[in-house]
Structure 1
């Protein structure tokens, strides 16, 4: 049986990252992360003052699997800025620690410089 050309989870992901400037696909919600890696990224974004939308991938199995195949990235959380995949927890934390994340967000126009 062949898979349909459109994947509802991928369609949802594409629309979400198109509709919002900064999206974090995560386990849990920003107010109550359900994994340590998601919590770290939420803390970093909050610390920088970046306004973002958190999407709980645990609410739907197809979304949890879909986000991994959407970017070909095996782990969650996943951060998108202006429709572009930035990275997961390790990349975001590293960018924050090296001081790259704040200027990157400012350049993208999602953070007051």
Structure 2
């Protein structure tokens, strides 16, 4: 498409507390966080920047239409570590012959999955 670089610049989460959510994701991914101001924070999760912007409204729907898949070596261990940071496990670990996943939510309810395989 003309005029489009075909590269995603960043993934942006709407949230109530950008600094707190950036700190959660920073700890989860082991990537540096930068809080620009009370309304904007980022985590440099190579190869993409994850950004958090303050919005006045809360999460409107219980189910995300988009979520992040985070690679894990040990699904139960990753889920437990995320829960210690404030995440919530939303389901059981599901495994088949090729890999598995567990659905989680960050402290503001944004869903993500730990995946293997």
**Structure 1 and Structure 2 fold alike (TM over 0.5):** no
* Higher RCO (CA < 8 A, seq sep 6+): 1
Hey, which of these two has a bigger chunk of helix by percent? Answer: 1
Using the size of structure 2 for normalisation, the TM-score is 0.28
**Larger radius of gyration, structure 1 or 2?**
2
